[in-house]
Amino acid sequence: MSRFLQQGLAKLIPYIPGEQPKNQAFLKLNTNESPFPPSPKVVEAITASEVDALRLYSDPTAESLVRAIADYYHVGMENVCVGNGSDEILAFAFHAFANRKTGVVFPEITYGFYPVFADFFGIQQRTFPLLQDYSINPEDYLSSDAMVVLANPNAQTGVYLSLTAIENIVKSNPERVVLIDEAYIDFGGESALPLTKIYPNLLVVQTFSKSRSLAGGRIGFAVGSSELISDLQTLRCSFNPYNLNRLSILAGREAIRDTDYFSACTEKIITAREHLKEKLVALNYTFTPSRANFVLAKSPALSGEKLYNALRENGILVRYLGGKLADFVRITIGTLEDVNHLYSILVKIETR
């Protein structure tokens, strides 16, 4: 730390991303990326002339991407704000909508970035524990005095909260923003996005990082009432109006238009996930009922850390989360072949 760092910032504890090994030696099942490449339409769109055009600034309104998202979800362009990853959108939303006194509330086990954003902006944070079965108790978030932030399906567990429960939370908090982070919604949940037309306090955030194979493209977005979106646009344009680069605007537009490729990829991942669950049952593992592109799994014999290390020695990277989840590892769903390979290694580890 330098002697110039301002007081208050010295206490910041940054978010720790999953390992990104420099070599390709590992089967990488640790950061919920897609095992499939982006749509072939994305590859076609990134031409030499588009690369030449990088000398020019990107479109500060990202119009072609915003239009493609609005068309896909049947909302107006004034209902969409894009970000450099959904992480950036989440940061803007925390900054814009969390009251500095009453703050923000989210589950104790969820996306690890929420507490980091709250600290970054000096926002009070309160958490509620999950229920015994690792589900969110919707009652905890009714008539809240704070901004409500829920990932659905929830991060780390993959557990899905019904749309009815979400709607009740939104309804009971007319004076607070309810942010639903739907990073994993395309793997089997029903999106709350259409409800943004009814509830002016609902903000739905999604990402191209998981279901659209563009984690490295850094594209996220929020959908909400034109009032909420206009506030987000004010923050975005006060911070970095060129937050999406030219190539990402193109890539995102092509990816969301290619609905066939998207469905094929998400269906394959869902099939592989259910296949992994069957294999885990055969191994006497326990796991949460994930509707995401990962499974939070617990070995009958090994701690999460031991299992993480044993898999690593065998060339497979998974995520060890520690803390309240120290018994578990979080396994990203790859291809069916990846799942079968993982299973063969798990058999070897558990029977040695």
Ligand X SMILES: *Cc1c(COP(=O)(O)O)cnc(C)c1O
Give the footprint of ligand X on this chain (CB under 6 A).
32, 85-87, 111, 151, 155, 181, 183, 207, 209, 215, 220
83 versus 304: smaller Cβ distance to ligand X: 83
Alpha carbons 227 and 92: distance in angstroms, whole number: 14
Q: In the 8-state DSSP scheme, what is residue 81?
A: E
Count of alpha carbons within 13 Å of 164, Cβ hemisphere only? 0
Q: Which amino acid is at 241?
A: P
From the number of C-beta atoms within 10 Å of its C-beta (0-12, 13-18, 19+), residue 82 rates as buried
Q: In the 8-state DSSP scheme, what is residue 194?
A: G
CB of 344 to ligand X, least distance (A): 28
Whether the CB-CB separation of 104 and 123 falls below 8 Å is answered with: yes
Alpha carbons 241 and 243: distance in angstroms, whole number: 5
> Which residue has its beta carbon closest to ligand X?
85
95 versus 341: smaller Cβ distance to ligand X: 95
CB of 155 to ligand X, least distance (A): 4
Question: 322: which 2 tokens?
Answer: 């520690």
103 versus 107: smaller Cβ distance to ligand X: 107
222 versus 346: smaller Cβ distance to ligand X: 222
CB of 131 to ligand X, least distance (A): 19
Question: 293: which 2 tokens?
Answer: 């592109």
Beta bridge partners, 103, equal 99
The answer to whether the Cα torsion of 267, 268, 274, 277 is positive or negative is: negative
φ and ψ of 220, to 5 deg: -140, 170
111 versus 320: smaller Cβ distance to ligand X: 111
CB of 1 to ligand X, least distance (A): 27
Whether the CB-CB separation of 330 and 318 falls below 8 Å is answered with: yes
CB of 84 to ligand X, least distance (A): 8
296 versus 346: smaller Cβ distance to ligand X: 296
Question: Nearest 5 degrees, angle CA 78-CA 253-CA 334?
Answer: 120
CB of 166 to ligand X, least distance (A): 15
Question: 210: which 2 tokens?
Answer: 């998981």
CB of 280 to ligand X, least distance (A): 21
85 versus 224: smaller Cβ distance to ligand X: 85
CB of 342 to ligand X, least distance (A): 20
The helix (run of H) or strand (run of E) holding residue 125 is strand 125-128
89 versus 339: smaller Cβ distance to ligand X: 89
83 versus 103: smaller Cβ distance to ligand X: 83
CB of 120 to ligand X, least distance (A): 15
Cα-Cα-Cα-Cα torsion 95, 97, 103, 109, nearest 10 degrees, comes to -80
Whether the CB-CB separation of 184 and 159 falls below 8 Å is answered with: no
149, 190, 323 from 128: Cα distances, Å: 11, 24, 16
